[in-house]
Amino acid sequence: MARYSGPSNAGPYDDEVLYVRRPLPPSDDGFRRRLWGFMIVVFVSFCLLVGRTWHLQVLQGEHFLQLSEQNRLRSLRTKSLRGKILDRHGQVLADNRAAYTLMAIPADLPPPDRLLPLLRQLNIEIDPETLRPRRRGTALKPVPIQRDFPRDQVAYFAEHRMDFPGMFIEVEPLRTYPHNSLSAHVLGYLGEISEGQLQRSKERGYYPGDLVGQAGLEQALEEVLRGQPGMRQVEVDALGRETQVITSRPATPGMDLVLTIDFQLQQLAERLLASHRGSIVAIDPRNGQILALASHPTFDPNAFVPRPTVATWKALSTDARYPLHNRATQGQYPPGSVFKIVTALAALADGIVTPQTTVCCSGSYDYGEHTFRDWKPSGHGCVQLRQALAQSCDVYFYHIGQLLGIDRIAHYSQVFGLGQLTGFATGMEKAGLVPSSQWKRRARGQPWYAGETLSVAIGQGYTMTTPLQVANMVATLANGGTLYKPTIVLRQERVLQPTPADTAPTVLHQMRVPVQYLAAVQQGLWSVVNDPKGTGKAARHEQIMIAGKTGTAQVVGLPDHDASPSRQQYLPEQHRHHAWFAAYAPFEAPRIAVVVMIEHAGKGGSQFAGYAKTLIEAYLRQSYPVAATPLKTTRMTP
């Protein structure tokens, strides 16, 4: 404090000292508040940093450890060897060959602007976006860039390996079909798995780009043929290049399929069909084993390995002859007069007729206001069952069909396995159609008219069958009434393991029809081939007793003068009749049943009875008129 001295005449308080307080400096409260705020922010930030560190290292430590391991370790599949497909005698129909495939791990690939020039160095033109992961969790799954990679490009890639991050070469088994188009519709083909298939098979370990069965047995038995892939855990560097293998689990090969198909019989069937559109099916009546199943036009499944070119696929998919369509199991046709087997047995079993019942045929049959024509305008005269079958008398079957009614015909059709899937292979067949009064009410909203029954009785009208169904029907008659499930896989086997037993036959139905009625129909079919007036005389053999039935399936409704066989050649091909011939032999102890079906042949099955005879003779004598060498077909190109 400063001391103050007043004037000399100050008064009684001259000795008092007065202290005066100086003004204080400005307050520092704002500074302190800012300091405290800064310290709080630092403290909170430190706490957050510590908390985040604890969260990452303690709570999520395992997760980030796994991510780190994923960046360093990769799990790569080892492709399994697909099972072979062989004929019943061991002839290889589908095999594997080793091929190089350029693979990529999407997560390790460089950006598109760098990737395109790299791919061009390898003569590969591809949209880089197709290599990007399409679904979450697939960035580390290898995808194929190019299969069947040329050897010279493999050598270049190996020499410049460091220049191609995220890519590697894999030796992959690719399918090969050594006999080209032989049995193509039976075998099917492979193709890259689609997005839809990938979604449906997510639990089965498929990756994008995997090759899977897309048709035939390759598709129906995909799980059997595929096997189980192996796994390699490898260590990679920062560029995704493999440095060492950590662990390895070998792949398990798929099962081999031994088919019931007889290679030489199949080859002969396909040669007979070479100039036609149609199919041939041969079955062993004793057990339902399919001996031959041919469809024409056909294709070479090698054209799909590793994938068809755009031009090849366009040629196949737009071909008006539908070469990819399996006519033997998926073609649905009116059965024509081969259906008279069903009508005859139904009438006998229901007591409508006896084998001696006589019907007189003048060439037409009047019913209500309609006249139904016989294929023979002059008629067949008075005939019994045996002659009616031998000469394929329509009037006889109009008569007994009218007496039977549609629902009894439908019942016996189903007993023979018509109008339903045979079950021989999943997804490889159509069911056909057996009409009934209930079916028409449900499908058309209309009542059944009695006149429609007459058309069904001779295999026309709404009735639709596949050649496989007709072959099984004839086999059932031949063996005395046992309907077997047609089988095409004799057994599944694995290399270096004991050979398993053949697949046991499966009985679908046992007919409860008196033996004498079955014998009466069988005798009628014997007469078709061996009677001088039989429509199938071309199948007659001097040493082998053959029974059979011809059939003509009308495609569209035609005026009577155009429907006659002599006029068919003048019609557009698509309006001409289909031709059937069904047969079995030897008559006393059948070992083979054959069906020949030719589309738009323009004539009845009589002209193709010789095809069945050729097949039967070759099979029973194991002597084939054509040398059993692979068909020399080439890949189909436009």
Q: Is residue 405 part of a domain?
A: yes
Are 273 and 246 contained in the same domain? no
Q: How many CB atoms lie within 10 A of CB 376?
A: 17
> Is the pLDDT higher at 624 or at 266?
266
Mean pLDDT of the chain: 87
Q: Is 90 exceeded by the pLDDT of residue 515? A: yes
Q: What are phi and psi of 573, to 5 degrees?
A: -55, -40
Contacts of 416 (CB under 8 A, 6+ apart): 341, 342, 472, 473, 476, 477, 483
Are 295 and 243 contained in the same domain? no
Nearest by Cα to 72 from 246, 236, 243? 236
| Rounded mean pLDDT, 242-263 | 90
Q: What are phi and psi of 183, to 5 degrees?
A: 60, 25
Q: Is residue 333 part of a domain?
A: yes
End residue of a domain, out of 209, 239, 259:
259
Beta bridge partners of 247: 233
What pLDDT does 127 receive? 79
Strands (E), 384-502: 482-484, 489-493
What pLDDT does 409 receive? 98
Are 412 and 559 contained in the same domain? yes
Q: Is residue 215 part of a domain?
A: yes
> Is the pLDDT higher at 141 or at 455?
455
Q: Is 50 exceeded by the pLDDT of residue 128? A: yes
Cα 374 to Cα 393: distance, rounded to the nearest angstrom: 7
Q: Is 60 exceeded by the pLDDT of residue 560? A: no
Helical residues (DSSP H) of 479-623, grouped into ranges = 515-530, 560-563, 609-621
Q: What is the DSSP string of 70-91?
A: HHHEEEEEEPPPPPPEE-TTS-
Q: Is there a catalytic annotation at residue 337?
A: yes
**Structure confidence at residue 67 as a pLDDT band (50, 70, 90):** very low
| Domain count for the chain | 2
What pLDDT does 4 receive? 46
Are 227 and 268 contained in the same domain? no
Are 388 and 421 contained in the same domain? yes
| Rounded mean pLDDT, 605-624 | 91
What pLDDT does 42 receive? 78
Of the CA atoms within 13 Å of residue 114, those in its CB half-sphere come to: 8
Angle between helices 406-415 and 450-457 (to 10 degrees): 30
Query: What is the phi-psi region of residue 369: left when phi exceeds 0, alpha when psi lies from -120 to 50, beta otherwise?
Result: alpha
Are 421 and 562 contained in the same domain? yes
The structure tokens listed for 63 are 């997760």
Are 521 and 448 contained in the same domain? yes
Surface-to-core class of residue 336, CB atoms within 10 Å of its CB (0-12 exposed, 13-18 middle, 19+ buried) = buried
**Structure confidence at residue 528 as a pLDDT band (50, 70, 90):** very high
Q: Is 80 exceeded by the pLDDT of residue 68? A: no
Are 434 and 313 contained in the same domain? yes
Q: Is residue 631 part of a domain?
A: no
Are 286 and 225 contained in the same domain? no
Are 471 and 570 contained in the same domain? yes
| Rounded mean pLDDT, 206-218 | 92
- pLDDT tens-digit map of 297-340: 999 999 999 888 889 899 998 999 999 999 999 999 999 999 99
Are 458 and 553 contained in the same domain? yes
Contacts of 276 (CB under 8 A, 6+ apart): 296, 598, 599, 601
**Structure confidence at residue 295 as a pLDDT band (50, 70, 90):** very high
> Is the pLDDT higher at 150 or at 69?
150
CATH code of 302's domain: 3.40.710.10
Nearest by Cα to 328 from 184, 485, 538? 184
Are 215 and 278 contained in the same domain? no
Of 153-167, 192-206, 386-400, 572-586, the one with minimum mean pLDDT is 192-206
> Is the pLDDT higher at 142 or at 212?
212
Q: Over pLDDT 90: what percentage of the chain?
A: 60
Element holding 427 (H helix, E strand): none
Q: Is residue 48 part of a domain?
A: no
The structure tokens listed for 231 are 């796994």
**Residue reference for tokens 């139905």:** 509
Q: Is residue 518 part of a domain?
A: yes
Of 158-167, 294-303, 460-469, 494-503, the one with minimum mean pLDDT is 494-503
CATH code of 79's domain: 3.90.1310.10
Q: Is 90 exceeded by the pLDDT of residue 349? A: yes
What pLDDT does 24 receive? 52
What pLDDT does 13 receive? 45
Q: Is 90 exceeded by the pLDDT of residue 626? A: no
- pLDDT tens-digit map of 219-229: 999 999 999 88
Q: Is residue 45 part of a domain?
A: no
| Rounded mean pLDDT, 118-135 | 80
**Structure confidence at residue 408 as a pLDDT band (50, 70, 90):** very high
> Under DSSP, is residue 629 helix (H, G, I), strand (E, B) or coil?
coil
| Rounded mean pLDDT, 399-412 | 98
Domain that holds residue 84: 73-126+137-259
End residue of a domain, out of 224, 259, 294:
259
- pLDDT tens-digit map of 175-199: 999 999 999 999 999 999 988 888 8
Of 112-116, 162-166, 552-556, 592-596, the one with minimum mean pLDDT is 552-556
| Rounded mean pLDDT, 502-514 | 93
End residue of a domain, out of 233, 259, 285:
259
**Structure confidence at residue 75 as a pLDDT band (50, 70, 90):** confident
Q: Is residue 13 part of a domain?
A: no
Of the CA atoms within 13 Å of residue 462, those in its CB half-sphere come to: 19
Cα 312 to Cα 491: distance, rounded to the nearest angstrom: 34
**Selected catalytic residue, list 80, 337, 527, 606:** 337
pTM, full prediction: 0.83
Length of the chain: 638
